Amino acid sequence: MNVQGRFALLNAAVLWASLSFGSPALAQDERNHARETPHREAPRAPAARPPLAAPAHPAVDGRGQVLDQRYNHGRYYPPSGTVIASLPSGYRPVFRGGERYYFNAGVWYAPRGSGFVVIAPPPGLIISVLPPYYTTVWYGGVPYYYADSVYYTWQPDQNAYVVVDAPPNADQAPSAPPAPDPSQSTSAQNDLIIYPKNGQTADQQSADQYECNNWARGQTGFDPTEPSGGVQGDVDRARNNYDRAMTACLEGRGYQVN
């Protein structure tokens, strides 16, 4: 075989080897690339997020008032011992044993120096109208009206509410109110539909409803917070009288009542 044939045969052998096993340089480049390229996993679906919990009411609001959550009352009041220079508008004076007290929106005050201090009222103080916001709780079959750590009960002989000591079992869950007498009409549970015609705020409407409720109850003897209205005999008639009294009072204050 001549020289040209030998070179052709050698080139063919090298080409066959490179096709079968790859060139050493190419194999090394592939190994280097494998080392330098990080392993990538398939993207995973994001984990499900738990639902956000409803934000809790802060224990203290922006004015420094403390949240009263007993019985889920849910209202803010200035803490006992808070001193103010002047009483809020709409306060009511209460006298007992020669002492002066002042009551406004569930908060009790007493004179201190040239100002006034928030206090826990002594039992026996009498008010004609409950706070605009209160919670009714039952202990031993008796309704108590609760607001700002103070308990009130209705005293028929005085036709008023009286500050009382906490019920004996106040550290336990309150009981359910007595079941209404099935022989009495359930129409006593109906509510009036009240529309503020003059743009009254929700707080103003609540206060007006409360004062009208107390006036209507005094006129008719019917109390919608009591089982069967707290009356004997014809509950429907007592309720209708109460509704008429409430309607007259609220319409006189600029509400439409249906």
- CA 48, CA 227: separation in Å to the nearest integer? 49
Q: What is the pLDDT of residues 59-78, one digit of tens each?
A: 887 888 999 989 888 899 99
H helix or E strand, kind and range, residue 32: helix 24-36
- CA 142, CA 156: separation in Å to the nearest integer? 13
- CA 226, CA 146: separation in Å to the nearest integer? 15
- CA 150, CA 137: separation in Å to the nearest integer? 12
Q: What is the pLDDT of residues 125-174, one digit of tens each?
A: 999 888 888 888 888 888 899 999 999 998 878 878 999 999 988 888 88
pLDDT value, residue 143: 87
- CA 68, CA 61: separation in Å to the nearest integer? 11
CB of 162 within 8 A of CB of 155? yes
Q: Does residue 217 have a pLDDT over 70?
A: yes
Q: How confident is the model at residue 106 (pLDDT cuts 50, 70, 90)?
A: very high
Write the CB contacts of 115 (distance below 8 Å, at least 6 apart in sequence).
83, 84, 85, 86
The total of other beta-carbon atoms located within 10 Å of residue 250's CB is: 23
Q: Does residue 15 have a pLDDT over 80?
A: no
pLDDT value, residue 246: 87
Range of weakest confidence among 61-75, 136-150, 195-209, 235-249 = 195-209
CB of 177 within 8 A of CB of 227? yes
* Average pLDDT of the chain to the nearest whole number: 78
What are the extents of the domains in the chain? Answer: 186-257
Q: What is the pLDDT of residues 22-48, one digit of tens each?
A: 455 545 555 555 455 555 555 565 555
* High-pLDDT (> 90) share of the chain, %: 25
